[in-house]
Structure 1
Amino acid sequence: MELDVKDGIEVQSKIPRRARHSEENTRCGYLGCYPPCFQVFASAKWFLAFISIFVLFQSLLVSGYLSSVITTMEKRYDLRSAEAGLIVSSFDIGSLLVVVFISYFGGKGHRPRWVGIGATIVAAGAFMFSTPQYISSPYEVPGSQNSTGGQDTQLCNQTGDGYTDDEACEAKSASSLYIALFVLSNMIIGIGSTPIYTLGTTFIYDNSPSDDSSLYIAILYLMGAIGPALGYVVGGLLISYYVDPWADTVLPADDPRYIGAWWSGYVLSAILIFFSAIPILGFPNSISRSQSDTPPNCSDSTSGSDVGVARQRNDDVNPADASMNFGKNLKDLPRSFASLLTNPIFLCITATATLEFSIVTAFLTFVPKYLQDQFGVDPSQASILTGVVLVPSAGGGIMTGGYIIKRLRLNMAGCAKVALVSNLVAIALFLSVFLIDCPANVVIGSDGLGCAECACAFTRYDPVCVDASTFYNPCFAGCTDVEYSNDSHNSATEYSNCGCSTGNGTAIPGACERDCTKYFVPFMVCLFFVTMATASAQTPALMVTLRCVNNDERPFAMGLQFVFFRALAYIPAPIYFGTAIDGACQIWSGSSDGCDATSGSCEVYDPQMFRFIYFGLAMSLKVLAGVFVFLAFLLCRRKHARSKREQQDTKTTSSCDTYGSVNGRQTATNSQLQVYAISSESESSLGSAGSQKPLMMSQGRADKRSRADLAKNDSCRMSDVAL
């Protein structure tokens, strides 16, 4: 530290302290320690690399993995579809609660540190999400000796009046503690994820070379799109392992009683996200630019500070860059808010996008469940297939919409037309999924009637397959004996002496398999194109949003849409779709005589009702979105026609004004030509006839120009009268 001498007294110099603070604010390090070897990472490229790793793991966990294991969680903790939808929606609830706070205070603070702290919060929330696995009792395989009530209640009793054991008759329901843990943990993950796109993108924008900022941000969003696809694949692989790794089981992964290790992905993601947060926390608040990265109109003395960075962006004459400063004055917000709410195009296109995102959210959440119930696909394959089909088709649709706009150079009305055509194509494709279904197994005994004279009770749903027919449990199949495995669960492997069997009298645990290959493949093809057509309207809708508002209102318009999407699409869609799906349930895990018949998780759905409810609700939203995008198209076309007419009128008025300003000079020129013609005629009376040709041509041109000027003057007068 340098000392200054003032009046014979040594005092500390403030300038070196500020200089040292500015130097430390642009260097990588931790807790005041800035090793020289760390400074190689003090660049926008390295920050992009580390935050991209974080975004990859975060989107993998939130957008892909949770949707792939939510059905397994329903079975494990007896969750209803509506409760599962609430768990999925809690992420956006947490993000919506803190987005304004983080955007305001984080924007004024140390942005990389806010992003790094957010990453550690995501890691903590992910680990907390897996805690029900550790505090709950081990999973009991239905039909095993260790299960509640024992196996005797599942066998045929020909002498009694039925089992009335209260413990076996109790309807299972999900513990409120587990639901609270899931919801709270996912909200914490949403809170920690908020700084990524509010602070991380602006930090990259402010500290990267002007020509590369758009590319850097595109790479960040690309990693966010790859994550969900990997999440479905990773989820499908991890739930192929048994839920309790310390337990020995002989159940195959395609057995309906099998529960996969849903929690393992959260533990793995928590570890990876925590380590990805460490390098982000070491970045400075601003990154010094090299001379080659500094724009020519910027001062070199301020290139390493926040003021210099802001000056670099504000000096740019690009309207998109200038609009980034909108909203710093609070007086702009009420005016912009009123302007957007009175903009019919903005309201229509926002309503369209909200309805579209509701459909996309429902697809990502419940398509694995639909594949399992409708086509008999096991959970692992359903998750992998969902990621392989939905994510690439959505990405292809977004790219298709953007390519059409760029290739045809469409205006706002053209973008709205592309969105409308995409919506109509998606509606037509939606009709195809209603026609594709695989015949379902009829569960014998679900109505209380079996083929044998047994005193059976609805203790729990434990299906068995006898001669290609599915029975509610071994009792309704008339089975009196059972063989157990040698694993830790002592699960049933085969039932014998079944009175309903016309063959060898044996029954296999689980519902009978269905061969739905010839229905499944066409369905996935149709689903691919439905998703692609739906996603192809996203980019045109975004372009309409950006073009229908003023330049300085664009950031606020995007922020307002952010609120609409989460409040009206991402949060409520999984909940009301789950509630509607619950209406198609035939057999609940808690169904029994004298007990609540609608408690616990759903074991069997009515396939036809499930299909009509799920895709019927989605198609209803699609049709409503089509109405709004059609209105937006009409409004855009009318605005474009009015703007074109105003330009023509302005051009005509400008032309008349220009003519009026030169009319006097033109009249004088014509008079001079006439005088010149008369004088030339008098002087040429002594000459030959051939020498008079230039005179006659000049006079003819003057007459034609006078007539043209009179016609133009009359046209201008008529346009003035019309205006």
Structure 2
Amino acid sequence: GWLSYRPDYLQRFNSPRWLLALLCFYAVIVNIELLGFRGVVVPQIEKRFNMTSTFIGSIMSTVDISSGICGVLLTYYVGQRHKSKWIGYGIICLSFGSVIFALPHFIAGPYYYLNIATNNTQTTSTLCSSNAMNVSNNLCTSATHQSSPWIYPVIFIGGLVFCGIGYSIQYNVGLAYIDENVSPKISPVYIALFHMVAVIGPTLGYVVGGVFSNVYVDWPATPKDLKQDDPRWIGAWWLGYLIVGAIAFVTSLLIFAFPYHLPTYQKSKEKRLALSKTSKKVDNQYGKRWADFPRAFYDVISNRIFLLAVLGLSLDQIPTIGLLTFLPKFIQSQSGASLLTATTLAGVTAVVSAAIGQVSSGIIVKRWNLVGSKISRFCFYAAIANVISACVLLMSCSNPTIAGIYTPYPPSNITMRSQATTQSVQPTAACNIKCHCDNSLFSPVCGANGITYQSPCHAGCNALLATGSPATMNYTGCSCINSKTEKVAIRGFCSGESCTIVYPLMVGIVVMVIITFISFSPTLTIILRSIPESQTTFAMGVEGLIFRIVGGLLGPVVYGYVMDVSCILWNEECDTRQFCWRYDNSKLSLYMFTATIICKGIKLIIYGLLWYFHKQQEVA
């Protein structure tokens, strides 16, 4: 109940099952925003605010840094206090962060998808013109370019700091609140269910964010000559954050109704003390004084079993968070699918595979009564399978045939072939050398010869003509299209052969994620059982610190760098790289595999040490 209002009809909800249901709901809301929306909004924010993948990856990692640092301090303080109220404070904090994160959209003003000169009425033509001005150079000296864009990253970081604090309290305190109110034999099942339901969040975030990506960024305004399949299109990335923030704020009232301890607390505590190996240790009941913080931190971090389990879990988060952030872009590059399709595929892949892994782990642990070093052994074998499954990332689709990017321009009298390597490709040719094309402009057109060109200018087109009913905009007079066909082109990519490798690639990613998550809940069980009863909340905060700093910080940065070094066509302004238009698929797959296999290889070694020392501890 709330304050003095505690009617009898509410007491039926005062149970671990209803607590789990509410915490699962919060976990879904949090993961929709922090994991699901992340993969959808990253490519849109890159274009909207001219950021590289490494830079936006660094910004997105702020949520994990704040979650880790603030989490360890707050969980130390909250460990001996009213946990349900603090979970409510965390949800409110998350809602404020959501609103702050969406603010740059309202500050930046309307989105102009054409190159703007010194005012909004003068635009760069995408057509070939021998008298074309170098507007990109004019922009370098314009007042628009000289204005500082630093305010947008600062606002993003501020919003993510609040979101990180709220997430840390909801996750760390929530898990400890569940664990202390249920039987130790049932606790792994509750934890597995918590994480299983939580993975619905990224999927809903991917799908809902994908739907919002089909809504124009300046909604309710609509563009007249820009469609969703145009690379310059940006969706309403900000809308989901406002909706989720409002839902979180309204529903935060529910968790305040739960008491300090549930009625099942005392019996659960007695069972934990009987089973726990650490019950022989002195429980100092830290958390009542800040002066005890350094000693409490040392006691937790010096626990070898705890530290190895946390490191193994954290290392696995580097590829997990990295792929969650950039998997839609990876799928989009490999398959040529739209952002909505790519985010839906990524979301379905994440939820199905992660849910199967979580449920399987809970069933296995309970069915075979795995405890102590038996859980460590299980995690070690799972790590071996995880290393093998990562090899699926070596699969890649061939690059699309785009003149001047992946393949050279064809001679004027033959159709282009795609055998040439990207190293020999030049962005311009004799047919468009006098057009003064902006080589960072990407507005693809399909020529009548079946070849895709970077832009109408790069195809040598000098006029735009509306034909047919309904009217279709055709580019005419295209000098780079050979003389055996009409010298015309239409907007968009030419249809080519579909990549059949995408399907086994997605199946392989599903298997890899299942094996990744099958050891997640068992490892958390090891962590919770390796520390004294009163320190579970604080230990989860310490786990969160290492978990977020190692996995959350390095994941987006490392995989953002992987995306950047695989880029083959940058959007540049004043010799400064802003965001990537196109990637080299073979390099992208190779670098993704390299980053993933290194992390999972080190994880395998750590789980081997965990199994060894865990077994040694039991023998002693």
Give, in whole Å, the separation in 1 of the partners of 2:351 and 2:440. Answer: 37
Give, in whole Å, the separation in 1 of the partners of 2:611 and 2:180. Answer: 36
Are the equivalent residues in 1 in contact too, given 2:189–2:362 (CA < 8 A)? Answer: no
1:383 is matched with 343
Give, in whole Å, the separation in 2 of the partners of 1:82 and 1:139. Answer: 23
Are the equivalent residues in 1 in contact too, given 2:391–2:593 (CA < 8 A)? Answer: no
Moved more, 422-431 or 123-132: 422-431
Counterpart amino acid of residue 394 in structure 2: F
Q: Which one scores higher on RCO, CA 8 angstroms, separation ≥ 6?
A: 2
Answering whether residue 262 of structure 2 is matched by residue 280 of structure 1, we say no
Closer, same or farther: CA 522–578 of 1 in aligned 2, 3 Å: same
Counterpart amino acid of residue 140 in structure 1: Y
2:601 is matched with 623
Give, in whole Å, the separation in 2 of the partners of 1:316 and 1:635. Answer: 22
Are the equivalent residues in 2 in contact too, given 1:451–1:477 (CA < 8 A)? Answer: no
Are the equivalent residues in 1 in contact too, given 2:184–2:268 (CA < 8 A)? Answer: no
Are the equivalent residues in 1 in contact too, given 2:134–2:436 (CA < 8 A)? Answer: yes
DSSP-derived class of the 1:131 partner: helix
- Of the candidates 305, 315, 331, which is equivalent to residue 371 of structure 1? 331
1:375 is displaced (CA, Å) by 1.6
1:271 is matched with 246
Give, in whole Å, the separation in 2 of the partners of 1:241 and 1:166. Answer: 32
Are the equivalent residues in 2 in contact too, given 1:415–1:540 (CA < 8 A)? Answer: yes
Give, in whole Å, the separation in 2 of the partners of 1:287 and 1:548. Answer: 22
Q: Deviations over 1:199-228 (max 9, x none)?
A: 445555667899988876665544423222
1:23 is matched with none
Are the equivalent residues in 1 in contact too, given 2:446–2:491 (CA < 8 A)? Answer: yes
1:599 is matched with 577
In the superposition, the TM-score normalised over structure 1's length comes to 0.70
Closer, same or farther: CA 116–288 of 1 in aligned 2, 3 Å: closer
Closer, same or farther: CA 436–417 of 1 in aligned 2, 3 Å: farther
1:364 is displaced (CA, Å) by 0.9
1:584 is displaced (CA, Å) by 1.8
Larger radius of gyration: 1
Which residues of structure 2 form unaligned runs of 5+? 406-424
Sequence identity of aligned pairs in percent? 25
Moved more, 535-544 or 181-190: 535-544
- Of the candidates 522, 539, 549, which is equivalent to residue 567 of structure 1? 549
Give, in whole Å, the separation in 2 of the partners of 1:236 and 1:364. Answer: 14
Q: Deviations over 1:115-146 (max 9, x none)?
A: 32322221121112111121112122348999
DSSP-derived class of the 2:232 partner: coil
- Of the candidates 429, 444, 452, which is equivalent to residue 470 of structure 1? 452
2:137 is matched with 166
1:80 is matched with 52
1:256 is displaced (CA, Å) by 1.6
Counterpart amino acid of residue 245 in structure 1: W
Are the equivalent residues in 2 in contact too, given 1:348–1:632 (CA < 8 A)? Answer: yes
Are the equivalent residues in 2 in contact too, given 1:477–1:498 (CA < 8 A)? Answer: yes
- Of the candidates 145, 165, 187, which is equivalent to residue 191 of structure 1? 165
1:419 is matched with 379
DSSP-derived class of the 1:586 partner: strand
1:632 is displaced (CA, Å) by 3.9
Are the equivalent residues in 1 in contact too, given 2:72–2:545 (CA < 8 A)? Answer: no
Moved more, 168-177 or 629-638: 168-177
- Of the candidates 222, 227, 248, which is equivalent to residue 248 of structure 1? 222
Closer, same or farther: CA 506–267 of 1 in aligned 2, 3 Å: same
Give, in whole Å, the separation in 1 of the partners of 2:244 and 2:487. Answer: 48
Counterpart amino acid of residue 479 in structure 2: G
Are the equivalent residues in 2 in contact too, given 1:115–1:195 (CA < 8 A)? Answer: yes
- Of the candidates 607, 612, 619, which is equivalent to residue 590 of structure 2? 612
Give, in whole Å, the separation in 2 of the partners of 1:639 and 1:312. Answer: 25
Counterpart amino acid of residue 627 in structure 1: I
DSSP-derived class of the 2:572 partner: coil
Moved more, 450-459 or 262-271: 450-459
Give, in whole Å, the separation in 1 of the partners of 2:7 and 2:368. Answer: 52
Q: Deviations over 1:306-326 (max 9, x none)?
A: xxx779846985345995994
1:569 is displaced (CA, Å) by 1.3
1:450-599 to 2 correspondence within 5 Å?
Answer: 450-453=429-432, 454-458=434-438, 460-462=440-442, 463-466=444-447, 467-483=449-465, 493-502=473-482, 503-542=485-524, 545=527, 558-590=540-572, 595-596=574-575, 598-599=576-577
Give, in whole Å, the separation in 1 of the partners of 2:554 and 2:295. Answer: 28
DSSP-derived class of the 2:569 partner: strand
In the superposition, the TM-score normalised over structure 2's length comes to 0.81
Give, in whole Å, the separation in 1 of the partners of 2:277 and 2:617. Answer: 26
- Of the candidates 318, 331, 334, which is equivalent to residue 358 of structure 1? 318
1:223-372 to 2 correspondence within 5 Å?
Answer: 223-249=197-223, 251-281=226-256, 283=257, 285-286=259-260, 313=269, 318-320=274-276, 326-329=283-286, 334=295, 337=298, 341=302, 343=304, 347-372=307-332
Are the equivalent residues in 2 in contact too, given 1:122–1:273 (CA < 8 A)? Answer: yes
Counterpart amino acid of residue 476 in structure 2: S
Closer, same or farther: CA 474–516 of 1 in aligned 2, 3 Å: same
DSSP-derived class of the 1:604 partner: strand
DSSP-derived class of the 1:600 partner: strand
Give, in whole Å, the separation in 2 of the partners of 1:51 and 1:545. Answer: 20
2:428 is matched with 449
Give, in whole Å, the separation in 2 of the partners of 1:146 and 1:492. Answer: 31
DSSP-derived class of the 1:529 partner: helix
Counterpart amino acid of residue 608 in structure 1: S
Counterpart amino acid of residue 583 in structure 2: Y
Are the equivalent residues in 2 in contact too, given 1:438–1:519 (CA < 8 A)? Answer: no
Counterpart amino acid of residue 577 in structure 2: S
Which residues of structure 1 form unaligned runs of 5+? 1-26, 294-308, 486-490, 647-723
Give, in whole Å, the separation in 2 of the partners of 1:397 and 1:315. Answer: 28
DSSP-derived class of the 2:500 partner: helix
1:97 is displaced (CA, Å) by 2.9
Answering whether residue 63 of structure 2 is matched by residue 103 of structure 1, we say no
Closer, same or farther: CA 176–470 of 1 in aligned 2, 3 Å: farther
Give, in whole Å, the separation in 2 of the partners of 1:313 and 1:138. Answer: 58
Closer, same or farther: CA 432–504 of 1 in aligned 2, 3 Å: same
DSSP-derived class of the 2:314 partner: helix
Q: Deviations over 1:541-598 (max 9, x none)?
A: 445556777888877665543322112111222112212321222222115xxx31x4
Are the equivalent residues in 1 in contact too, given 2:36–2:206 (CA < 8 A)? Answer: yes
Give, in whole Å, the separation in 2 of the partners of 1:397 and 1:311. Answer: 30
Q: Deviations over 1:519-551 (max 9, x none)?
A: 211110111112222222334544555677788
1:90 is displaced (CA, Å) by 1.4
Counterpart amino acid of residue 620 in structure 1: I
DSSP-derived class of the 1:70 partner: helix
1:369 is displaced (CA, Å) by 1.0
Moved more, 370-379 or 117-126: 117-126
DSSP-derived class of the 2:61 partner: helix
2:416 is matched with none
Give, in whole Å, the separation in 2 of the partners of 1:212 and 1:631. Answer: 27
1:606 is displaced (CA, Å) by 2.0
Give, in whole Å, the separation in 1 of the partners of 2:364 and 2:173. Answer: 31
Counterpart amino acid of residue 256 in structure 1: P
Give, in whole Å, the separation in 2 of the partners of 1:477 and 1:143. Answer: 19
Are the equivalent residues in 1 in contact too, given 2:36–2:201 (CA < 8 A)? Answer: yes
The count of corresponding residues between Structure 1 and Structure 2 is: 583
Give, in whole Å, the separation in 2 of the partners of 1:354 and 1:480. Answer: 55
Closer, same or farther: CA 42–609 of 1 in aligned 2, 3 Å: closer
DSSP-derived class of the 1:603 partner: strand
DSSP-derived class of the 2:594 partner: helix
